[in-house]
Structure 1
Amino acid sequence: MQLREIFPSIYKLVNGSQEILATKNLTPGVTYYGEPVYDVDGVEYRSWNPTRSKLGAVILKDIQEMPIKPGSKVLYLGVASGTTVSHVSDIIGEEGHVWGIDFAPRSMRDLLDKVTRNRKNLSPILGDARDPSSYSAYVPLVDVVFADVAQPDQADIIVKNADHFLKKGGWFMLTIKSRSVDVREKPKDVYADQVRIIEEAGYKVHQVVILDPFEKDHAMVLASSV
């Protein structure tokens, strides 16, 4: 099996015609959602299922820039039970940190039980992403804000959080779930409306990536502070 690094600390494992997205396991011997692991030259890599992770999906859709890197400080909105954030934890490594926000107590319990107990670079916070002031005492300025929230005001939510926490020159990544915003509108029109909100707030949109076929009626916006 061959190993190819496609972004810093993000890999493709190549076995003949098969390509597997993967991250180097920060906690060798421990997995989190039944993901297969592979040993390459004595190093353990966790496969990253793009059908269960919008971040994994957008990486395979050839994004131009991957803002989350080794050492990054990341605010993750809508962290849920921890599938994607476990890979973010792998990427940023011991020098980085991720603060994970979710309003659902059940998801937070699962995150604590399955992921956080083994990873010192992950801090879970029970909170409402629509009210960043409620957790501002716990989250410093960050390099990246990542949002995966099923709310009709998705762009407004990430703008509020970026205004609070994003460093100058930092990036954010917004998963747009078009059916959560407006089921009556065509997805492309929903994406355009959300992009307009982001740009009117003073952020620069670099790329909008449609996540089909991994996620139907979803897109990812990559933007940065000016």
Structure 2
Amino acid sequence: MSDLPAGVERRAIDGEDGLATRGEPVYGEPTQDGWRRWDAHRSKLGAMLELGMDTGLVGGETVLYLGAAAGTTVSHVADFAGPTYAVEFAARPIRDLLDAAESRDRLFPLLKDARKPETYAHVVEPVDVIVQDVATRGQADVALANRQFLADDGRLLAAVKARSEDVTADPEDVFDAVVADLESEYEILERERLEPYHADHLGVVARPR
């Protein structure tokens, strides 16, 4: 396994070893001594770390998180990162996301559409990392549209959901097509399927060209 970022540790909680961060619980995850289990079965980024992908995360980064939903993963990110901008379009999960942000002064929820970065460009500063977990058709387009925020030496950490692009196509064909689109502006450093944690998902680590 590649090195974990500062602020993320492997800990035995409730008798089970796994990733953990320090912070208030968000989604009913088990806690111990201020540490909270980071459930990789509920977090694509957690799965990337569990699988040993070289995310480049060291801790303290400024992060733009696209597709924050109710805050399951982005709350863990805000536990170890620097300023963390959490973009979520659906109104339903925003309340949970706001609750997660109450105890995290580095987490900034934005009720915005990740496909329209011009609507939050006045708020988001240049970032070291873009984490993309947007389950929508055109996942490569989202990463390309938000490239403007990413530092030249930054990282894109994307979870590509095959079924969001095409429910009938072979997932590997979908992954190849998305990666090919990304390569117009990103250099792909690593790609790996996220099984057994997430079926038909591909983890991608890339940097701007």
Is the aligned partner of 1:129 residue 2:114? yes
How far residue 87 of structure 1 moved from its aligned partner, in angstroms, is 0.4
Match of 2:119, SS state, is helix
Match of 1:172, SS state, is strand
2:90 to 101, 104, 107: 104
1:181 to 146, 165, 175: 165
Is the aligned partner of 1:157 residue 2:142? yes
Superposition RMSD in Å: 1.6
- Paired residues in the alignment total 206
Higher relative contact order (CA 8 A, sep 6+): 2
Is the aligned partner of 1:12 residue 2:1? no
Match of 2:41, SS state, is coil
Deviation per CA, 1:135-160: give whole Å up to 9, x if none: 10010110011111111100111111
Instruction: Tell me how far apart the structure 2 counterparts of residues 133 and 116 of structure 1 sit (CA, whole Å).
Output: 23
Match of 2:169, SS state, is coil
Instruction: Tell me how far apart the structure 2 counterparts of residues 130 and 117 of structure 1 sit (CA, whole Å).
Output: 26
Q: Max radius of gyration: which structure?
A: 1
Name stretches of at least 5 consecutive residues in structure 2 with no aligned partner: none
Which residue of structure 1 lines up, in the alignment, with residue 197 of structure 2? 214
How far residue 72 of structure 1 moved from its aligned partner, in angstroms, is 0.6
Instruction: Tell me how far apart the structure 1 counterparts of residues 58 and 79 of structure 2 sit (CA, whole Å).
Output: 10
Instruction: Tell me how far apart the structure 2 counterparts of residues 48 and 66 of structure 1 sit (CA, whole Å).
Output: 16
Is the aligned partner of 1:55 residue 2:40? no
Which residue of structure 2 lines up, in the alignment, with residue 168 of structure 1? 152
Give the letter aligned to residue 206 of structure 1: L
Name stretches of at least 5 consecutive residues in structure 1 with no aligned partner: none
How far residue 126 of structure 1 moved from its aligned partner, in angstroms, is 0.8
How far residue 14 of structure 1 moved from its aligned partner, in angstroms, is 4.5
Instruction: Tell me how far apart the structure 1 counterparts of residues 169 and 200 of structure 2 sit (CA, whole Å).
Output: 11
Instruction: Tell me how far apart the structure 1 counterparts of residues 205 and 133 of structure 2 sit (CA, whole Å).
Output: 13
Which residue of structure 2 lines up, in the alignment, with residue 197 of structure 1? 181
Identity of aligned residues (%): 38
How far residue 10 of structure 1 moved from its aligned partner, in angstroms, is 1.6
Question: Under a length normalisation based on structure 1, what TM-score does the superposition of the two structures give?
Answer: 0.87
Match of 1:51, SS state, is helix
Match of 1:58, SS state, is helix
